[in-house]
Chains A and B, each alone.
Chain A
Amino acid sequence: MAKKKKKSKGQKIFNDRPRKIFRHYIGTSEFIFSAAFTIFVVVMGVWFFAQKTNYDPGERDISYELMLAESVVDNLWEPPFVYWREPGSEVAEAAMGPEIGIYPDVAVSDGWTQVGRLKEFTSKTVYEKVDGQEGQYNSFGMQFMYFLTITKGEIEVNIELYDMGEFENSLGVYSAQRTDGSSVEQIGSAFVTRTAVGGLAIVNQFYFKFSANIEDPSITAHALKVIQAFADEQGEAGAVPAVFGILNDGLGFGFEQIGYQKSDVFQYDFAKEFWFGNPVGDSKLKYFLHEEPGESAASSLFGQIMEEHEFEYDIISQEESDVMMKHDFLKTFNTMNKLGSFVYGVEGAKTQDEAEAALNKLKSLISERTSQ
């Protein structure tokens, strides 16, 4: 094998300078620089590997406490909010009116002005406004909430307007939030309960809540005006559920005596959407009824309820779809009945005769309905 020739000192390959390695003399500055550079590279390498994954901004930046101590309160100028207008728009020079959406114009009349903007919430975002109580509204099928604040002088009123989707839902939440014993008056198609700071009301599927920062009769008066105007705009009430009609027209219960429970009726998770009627003067006796889509669904529900009731009630008498029971603990008389697509009965009666008398009234009305 031919040996590789040793390159002579004078021979160059890549540059025209002699290779340093063959030099006999290395200058002092060059030596110092080389040593310093080598040390620098070594130190950088050691530092680099010493970091590993321990990068901590806290060791690099100034301390949080120092930032807090050195920070200043900076009052930023906020330009007044101006609604967008198309350039050249006819009303560009006109004064900007309030944007109150679904609310009637009368809400911001007569010296009342809007504060801030109308806020809208859905069933998923309403917790931002009523944190902790959104479950109650959602359990009654809340769809939207429109929040408006109006003011007049020192009075500031928050108005919450809930679109509950259906009349029974708005009735349900209204009954749940109305103070026991408070009166209900009908104004057009609206049902209203006055409060010292405004009031509660339902108009078809809508539920109103007015709450002011002080108590003043002018607040309630204005609330009624707004409710009435809203009811007029909404027009005639939608179809009232048949069950409501039985309690209201048939049994003569006033609005405040009628309640609607959306879920967990009798504390059973399968029992939903029951109507209740309380006769005046007797807070324990209640009529209840519920309409299923069909007879077989009603039979199924009836069976499920009876299966659970057997743990807490003594059965006194039972025909096919008519059961008379006595509560083991409360000693009150209850019935559970089915007719067609209706599941109904009475609860809380003091005696069996009382229960039977109340039941017969309800049964005759339901028989009429099912025979129609």
Chain B
Amino acid sequence: MAKKEKPIQKPDYVKAPMDRRTFLTRTAAVAGVTAGLGYVSFAPKGAPGSLKDMTGRRSEPAETFFELPDFSVEKPSSIAADIGIARGERSDGVLDFSEDRIRNMVLKATDSLGGLTHYIKPGDVVLVKPNVAFDRSPNLGATSNPVILEQLIRIILADCKASEVRVADNPIESAPDCFRKSGVGPAAGKSGARVYLPDDNAFQTLKTPGAALIEEWTFFARPFIGVDKVIGLSPVKDHNLCSASMSIKNWYGLLGGARSQFHQDIHGIISDLAMMIKPTMSIIDGTSVMISNGPTGGDPSNVVQGDVIVAGLDAVAMDSWVFEYCLKRGKEYPDYLFQAETKTTGKMDWSGRTDEIVG
């Protein structure tokens, strides 16, 4: 059978050559489109309409940074002191550090500055940041005193009527082990605080303008969300690298990432920490002082009994006083205090700014 052929659809169609106008029009159109595409592709990055993106990161969303508000509170106008010192009471020459006595000392030290009720209002959410850096028991003095922590939390909840107290730190070692072994975790739980342990999602990038080393650095942010007031609670320790670890050094535990690299400029990083956070108050435990082999210690003979609990609104001044009187190092202050004095409004000269009470 012969193959059936398709009928020609337009048998009388005659293909005509393109006329000049059509040619020019179409050529101009193609050229225009090509030129346009070429421009948006290759024009320098800032040019109008340019889509040039050599790194492929043009569409990357701009990073948002975590911000730490200023947690400081103006002290009462009637208070001249920036450092409150509570000395332990001796009975037959022996210092009494019972729970009641510790509570009294915390109250006396903070009362010298106007009382915690001035700084913490009813309903506030308060973060207490102790030193839980090591998996060590409290007798070795490497971590914050759990007894002082417990009494402080009770005062904040009962006297100040805070709505919540949080306790947080970011040790390099296993955080649950450190909180358990140091006694800080049980003390916090017993007194009604909530412990925030670090995990990978708890960190955000914090911007500290002007800081030399941590202008933008990963920070343990989760405990700070929704917080109204921040109190640091630190021990006094000799330190192998920076001579002494006191209240400013305590904030090191909030840094994330590869923070151990900052040991190469330990004084620089500690002075940056003074810029990083403006706490409501700092409290230093001078009842047991690690005078040698710090910061880890390991031998109770490295720790001597002291007799003070110190509260301060100026961390630079407070650390200077504690360095002189608790560590008994005289006026050979660590370099980071001098650097912190230039970077912040803190002043090392504490003379005339202390108020001392026995009790």
Q: Which residues of A contact B (CB under 8 A)?
A: 1-5, 11-13, 53-58, 64-65, 68, 127-136, 156, 158, 160, 177, 179, 182, 195-197, 200, 209, 211-215
CA distance A213 to B60 in the complex (A): 51
Asked if residues A179 and B292 are in contact (CB atoms below 8 Å), the reply is yes
Asked if residues B296 and A156 are in contact (CB atoms below 8 Å), the reply is no
Given contacts A2-B14, A56-B61, contact A211 B172 (CB under 8 A): no
Asked if residues B181 and A156 are in contact (CB atoms below 8 Å), the reply is yes
Given contacts A64-B225, A131-B172, A158-B136, contact A4 B302 (CB under 8 A): no
Return chain A residues, CB-CB under 8 Å to B62. Answer: 53
- 20 residue pairs A–B, Cβ–Cβ below 8 Å: A3-B16, A55-B61, A58-B64, A127-B172, A128-B172, A129-B173, A132-B240, A132-B263, A133-B296, A135-B241, A135-B263, A179-B293, A182-B301, A195-B300, A196-B301, A209-B298, A211-B137, A213-B137, A213-B139, A213-B181
- Contacting residue for B140 out of A132, A134, A160, A197, CB 8 A: A197
Look across to chain A and name the residue whose beta carbon is closest to the beta carbon of B260. Answer: A127
Look across to chain A and name the residue whose beta carbon is closest to the beta carbon of B293. Answer: A177
Asked if residues A215 and B16 are in contact (CB atoms below 8 Å), the reply is no
CA distance A215 to B292 in the complex (A): 19
CA distance A2 to B15 in the complex (A): 8
CA distance A58 to B300 in the complex (A): 50
Return chain B residues, CB-CB under 8 Å to A197. Answer: 139-140, 298-300
Asked if residues B226 and A4 are in contact (CB atoms below 8 Å), the reply is no
Apart from A5-B12, A132-B245, A136-B240, list 14 A-B contacts with CB within 8 A.
Answer: A3-B16, A11-B10, A57-B61, A131-B133, A132-B295, A132-B296, A133-B294, A133-B295, A158-B136, A179-B293, A196-B300, A197-B298, A197-B300, A211-B140
Look across to chain B and name the residue whose beta carbon is closest to the beta carbon of A5. Answer: B13
Return chain B residues, CB-CB under 8 Å to A55. Answer: 59, 61
Return chain B residues, CB-CB under 8 Å to A2. Answer: 14, 16
Asked if residues B139 and A158 are in contact (CB atoms below 8 Å), the reply is no
Closest Cβ–Cβ distance, residue A232 to chain B (whole Å): 24
Closest 9 CB pairs of A and B: A213-B137, A211-B298, A2-B16, A132-B295, A195-B299, A179-B301, A127-B260, A131-B172, A196-B300
Q: Which residues of chain B (56-79) have a CB below 8 Å from chain A?
A: 58-62, 64
Asked if residues B137 and A212 are in contact (CB atoms below 8 Å), the reply is yes
Tell whether B17 is near chain A: CB-to-CB under 8 Å: yes
Asked if residues A215 and B61 are in contact (CB atoms below 8 Å), the reply is no
Return chain B residues, CB-CB under 8 Å to A54. Answer: 61
Q: Which of B17, B64, B139, B302 has the most CB of A within 10 A?
A: B139
CA distance A11 to B237 in the complex (A): 97
Return chain B residues, CB-CB under 8 Å to A156. Answer: 137, 181
Tell whether B5 is near chain A: CB-to-CB under 8 Å: no
Closest Cβ–Cβ distance, residue B71 to chain A (whole Å): 19
CA distance A4 to B17 in the complex (A): 10
CA distance A197 to B293 in the complex (A): 15
CA distance A209 to B296 in the complex (A): 11
Look across to chain A and name the residue whose beta carbon is closest to the beta carbon of B62. Answer: A53
* Per-position binary interface string of chain B over residues 228-267, scored 1 when its CB falls under 8 Å from any chain A CB and 0 otherwise: 0000000000011100010000000000000010010000
Asked if residues B260 and A131 are in contact (CB atoms below 8 Å), the reply is yes
Closest Cβ–Cβ distance, residue A142 to chain B (whole Å): 13
Asked if residues A68 and B225 are in contact (CB atoms below 8 Å), the reply is yes
Look across to chain A and name the residue whose beta carbon is closest to the beta carbon of B13. Answer: A5
Asked if residues B260 and A179 are in contact (CB atoms below 8 Å), the reply is no
Given contacts A65-B225, A131-B133, A131-B172, contact A211 B299 (CB under 8 A): yes
- Contacting residue for B59 out of A11, A53, A130, A131, CB 8 A: A53
Tell whether B19 is near chain A: CB-to-CB under 8 Å: yes
Return chain A residues, CB-CB under 8 Å to B296. Answer: 130-133
Tell whether B314 is near chain A: CB-to-CB under 8 Å: no
CA distance A332 to B204 in the complex (A): 56
Asked if residues B61 and A214 are in contact (CB atoms below 8 Å), the reply is no
Look across to chain B and name the residue whose beta carbon is closest to the beta carbon of A182. Answer: B301
